[in-house]
Structure 1
Amino acid sequence: MLMRAAQQGVGMIEILVALLVLAIGVLGFSFLQMRAIDASHEAMSKLQAMNLARDLSEKIRANSNAYTQYQARINAETQTTTAKSCVQKGTTNPCVQAADFTHYDAAQIIKNANGLGMSIKMPNCQVSNNLQSRRCIYVAWGKTKPIDDASAKDACTHVGSYLPKAQCIVMELY
């Protein structure tokens, strides 16, 4: 006589299904954690870029007659990160000309940007009809370049609008 016994305990199929569901949950949580880390890194980069741009804008505001000299030094093909320190107390060669300040300020900003893995430029902003010219500071990091160009896939903006994969900030000066 054949007797059927009732199953006792958990079957192998149920264990495998539970492990599969658990693995999917762990993978989903890991993906969310990676996205959170990327978002916090992006926020930190934006904060550092804003601080660089703000620092440069404050230096320009304090020495506004030398804007074109700041722009020339920041936009130079070969940016210099060294300059004589002429603003410290007790220095034998104090800064007396606007150009002395711009050389020192620009070198410090470029040095700080390079130290953070960022690049900085001061192109003219895009201008709409009948508006006065605006001045901008572009700070870019990663593979993005601080330029306004639609044909370059690694540009920051095109006609004043951020490109989709750009890692940069644009600050207007007034």
Structure 2
Amino acid sequence: MEQYVNGTPVVRAMPNLSAAVLASTTALAYGRHAEDTHRTAVRSLFDRVGETVDVSEEAMDAVTAVAGSGPAYVYLFMEALIEAGVQAGLSLSIARDLAVQTVFGAAKLVKETGGDPADLRRRVTSPGGTTMAALTVLEARGFKMAIADAVRQAIRRAGELALQKKTS
């Protein structure tokens, strides 16, 4: 973008939908003309809607795939958990409340303790227990691989969209 604005400071920002509840994670990539005063001003704006990280311009497609699109991945997981709860006999209201609080609580535990998600997963997984049985199914169905493939596809698409903007 800098090539079109002749020396004007440019900052590229990628917030996510959670900015609506002041819980976004926003990545900022600074152009070569952005000085400390610009960085501070832009960061202070985005810090008001959540947390802010600085990344290189080259990292922005990955940021888009992980944090920009990430809420949709979580919502899809929540949809599946709610639907499974209803299929198991829970009311829609109870299934939704359980899924929402479960995702919120898990994220909060990682955030507030700084715990590694893999370690926390192992702590809740008893050998031969219900969680182990469920995780075995998710692993057999390629859960992590599906997420990795989705992120790679989003990165690829971000690159395509950037090329379209350059040629139009």
Which TM-score band applies after superposition, normalised by the shorter structure?
under 0.3
Q: Which has the larger radius of gyration?
A: 1
Q: What's the TM-score once normalised by structure 1's chain length? A: 0.27
Higher strand share: 1
Q: What's the TM-score once normalised by structure 2's chain length? A: 0.28
Higher helix share: 2
